[in-house]
Structure 1
Amino acid sequence: MDYTTLKQEIIDHSKSLGIDKIGFTTANLFTELKNHLIRQEQLGYQSGFEEKDINKRIDPSLIFDHPRSIISIALAYPSKMKDAPRSVKGARRGIFARASWGTDYHTVLRDRLTRLEAFIKERVPEARFKSMVDTGELSDRAVAERAGIGWSAKNCAVITPEFGSYVYLGEMISNLPFEPDEPMEDQCGSCNKCVDACPTGALVQGGQLNSQKCIAFLTQTKGFLPDQYREKLGNRIYGCDTCQTVCPKNKGKDFHFHLEMEPDGEIAKPLLEPLLTMSNKEFNETFGHVSGSWRGKKPIQRNAIIALAHFKEESAVPTLIDIMKNDVRPVIRGTAAWAIGKIGGAEASDALIVQHRHEKDEEVLEEIKKGLAFF
């Protein structure tokens, strides 16, 4: 088998599959990554969503029998929403991060990887693969960096010269010996805009992220959001794009190559108040196809309540009072109590005083006290 010719055929065919960039690398150990992961773990900077076994994250041979190469793919996604609905008084809106616009990227990239596997299999029947997107053992970014897709930037994203950091990444371990591509040189230079702009200081330094402080991570947690981050949340209900939007390498980058990734403004930038009373069925029917729904409606609803407080949206107070009194979930009741106090007004203070007499949950009572402290 002429693997040089096959590699070029794969590159050429990948474009017809809707793959915007493709790179090849070895299946060798990711030695430098191991030291970084150990350090992150020691510092308590991990999110908890990662593969727990560090060795599996850096050694392809532990998850695939006799790996010989890894193919990395990238798909560019939009950075701008056409005809985005406006957030106005009485009809405030939240925002999903760009990585949750359109159809769940896991679904889109798995489709591309499956079709790429089929193309290679036709030419090499004995070929074997293990493909993954985001939730696999390997680090998508480490693979993409080594495969020459882009460089690992100070904002902890992979930046491509063509599409900036607005790319989804996936990879395919293979038993085929493809010639590796050359990694790309770091082009961040002395720029530190992403580190300086991070709302919570989660970018400790260039290339190092404390996930526990990152808004993108915090929006996915299910408990009470720590007090110090509530003001920082703004109207974000899932994810955060600040470290991408301030990046000079992303200036002017906006690609609309894939219909599945086009955002529906009513979903990507939804009205906040209707979110609060959605049933599980309604939530899944409306948001189930986007990646931001993976943790269910509870974190989204909690974040929506905080966003209404951010806007000081007085028209939402009656709904928030009802939630504070009747929702069975302490986190939602308590967050609503805090938001009622933050928004303020006579109706708000009276409701908090009354509920303080009836509430039994200690954490919710603490949130009611926080709400009352605003008066």
Structure 2
Amino acid sequence: MIIEQLQKELIEYATSIGVDKIGFTHASPFHEMKNRLKRQQELQYQSGFEEPDIEKRTEPRLLLNSAESIIAIALAYPSKMEDAPVGKKGSRRGIFARASWGVDYHVAVRERLNLIEQWLKNRVPDVQTKSMVDTGELVDRAVAERAGIGWSGKNCSIITPEFGSYVYLGEMITNIPFIPDTPIENECGDCTLCLDVCPTGALVNPGQLNSKRCVAFLTQTKDFLPDEFRKEIGNRIYGCDTCQTVCPKNKGKMNWIHEEFKPEPELAKPLLKPLLHMSNKEFKAKFGYMSGSWRGKKPIQRNAIIALAHFKEQSAVPDLIEIMDKDERPVMRGTAAWAIGKIGGSDAEQALLKAREKETDEEVLKEIEKGLTLLKA
């Protein structure tokens, strides 16, 4: 079959299965990205969640030796929630980032890639492919940029003219020599809003992110959260959207397109106190289909404690005292102790002093002291 005709039919098919944008690029190495990744490595800006081998991240033919081109796809996700519940005193709420609303995007994007792969196999029997979504070796953003899906913004997101930066990305390496698309011109101009408002200064330069300072990364860690970041977390229990919500290119982009990505309000903005006592089974049953559940309940519960401290929610103090006294996990006990001191109240000092007498974990004891210091302040 003639490549031009196959490509045209593939674009039509992709649209029919809910792919919002599709682009094509050649399978040459990503030389500029390789240099950037090496620099990130030197500066120790990686999150640790990435593929560690830079060669694999930038050399498509190391992943598929017959590679001729790469197909990039994008699915738009909502930026606004309908009927969003409002937290109030006694019923405080946390929030999951937009990228965790609805069905896990890894599943949704991979389903589309699997369908495209099968469609190609039916037309080109000797086709070879390798697909990936987010956790794969290639840098999704680099592929999408070169394939004309959007430009790489100063906030380190791909920004599309149609959907802003609210898009999930996926790609497929193939041995079919599709005709490459032309990259889109960068339209960020002299705007620096995303850098100006980043809560932790993680956007150190346009297009350069220190992942270890990024709130989205910090909410996914499982250890004690460093003191300097606790205030900046606010009521975020998974992810951060600040650099997207301020972007002028996202203004008016609702993206209510796919039912599977529309959030269930009570899950996207859950009550905080019920999260504290949730079992693994309950957590998986309630949140397991969301991408924000991938690290388990521990980071979510720790972040919920920090959020309650952020609100100075007095009604949560009995719950926090119970966690400080009985939870088997040091991170939970210690974070609860800190939160009790942050919130204060008539029972706080006695509870912290009592916990100090029986606690044996050094890290937890440090957090108890922080709590006592906050009470005095």
Verify same fold: TM over 0.5. Answer: yes
- Asked if 1:46 is matched to 2:46, the reply is yes
Task: Give the structure 1 partner of residue 374 of structure 2.
Answer: 374
Q: What's the counterpart of residue 178 of structure 1?
A: 178
1:293 equivalent to 2:293? Answer: yes
Q: Partners of 1:203 and 1:244 in 2: how far apart?
A: 12
Give the distance between the partners of 1:338 and 1:28, measured in 2 at CA: 51
Measured in 1, the distance between the counterparts of 2:288 and 2:348 equals 33
Aligned pairs (5 A) from 1:81-230: 81-230=81-230
Instruction: Give the count of matched residue pairs.
Output: 375
Aligned to 1:271: 271
Counterparts in 2 of 1:47-86, with a 5 A limit?
Answer: 47-86=47-86
Unaligned ranges ≥5, structure 1? none
Amino acid at match of 2:217: F
Q: Secondary structure at the match of 2:80?
A: coil
Residue 8 of structure 1 aligns with which residue?
8
TM-superposed CA distance for 1:350, in Å, is 1.0
One-letter identity of the residue aligned with 1:237: I
TM-score by length of 1: 0.99
Percent identical across equivalent pairs?
67
Describe the SS at the equivalent of 1:237: strand
- Name the SS of the counterpart of 1:172 in structure 2: strand
Q: TM-score w.r.t. structure 2 length?
A: 0.99
The alpha-carbon deviation at position 126 of structure 1 amounts to 1.1
Structure-1 separation of matches of 2:282 and 2:46: 33
Partner of 1:361: 361
Kindly provide the amino acid, as one letter, of the partner of residue 303 in structure 2. Answer: N
Per-residue deviation at 1:65? 2.3
1:128 deviates by 1.3
Deviation at 1:324, TM superposition (A): 0.2
1:116: how far off? 1.1
Q: Distance in 2 between matches of 1:121 and 1:193?
A: 45
Give the 4+ runs in structure 1 shifted more than 4 A.
none
Amino acid at match of 1:11: I
Which residue number in structure 2 is paired with residue 36 of structure 1?
36
SS of equivalent to 2:118 = helix
* Distance in 2 of aligned mates of 1:259 and 1:162: 18
C-alpha displacement of 1:296: 0.5
1:225 deviates by 0.2
Q: 1:247 — aligned with what?
A: 247
Residue identity in the other structure for 1:252: G
| Counterpart residue identity of residue 100, structure 1 | S
Q: 1:226 deviation in Å?
A: 0.2
Q: 2:277 and 2:64 mapped to 1: Cα distance? A: 46
Q: Distance in 2 between matches of 1:124 and 1:21?
A: 22
Unaligned runs of at least 5 residues, structure 2: none
Determine the C-alpha separation between the residues in 2 that align with 1:254 and 1:173. Answer: 31
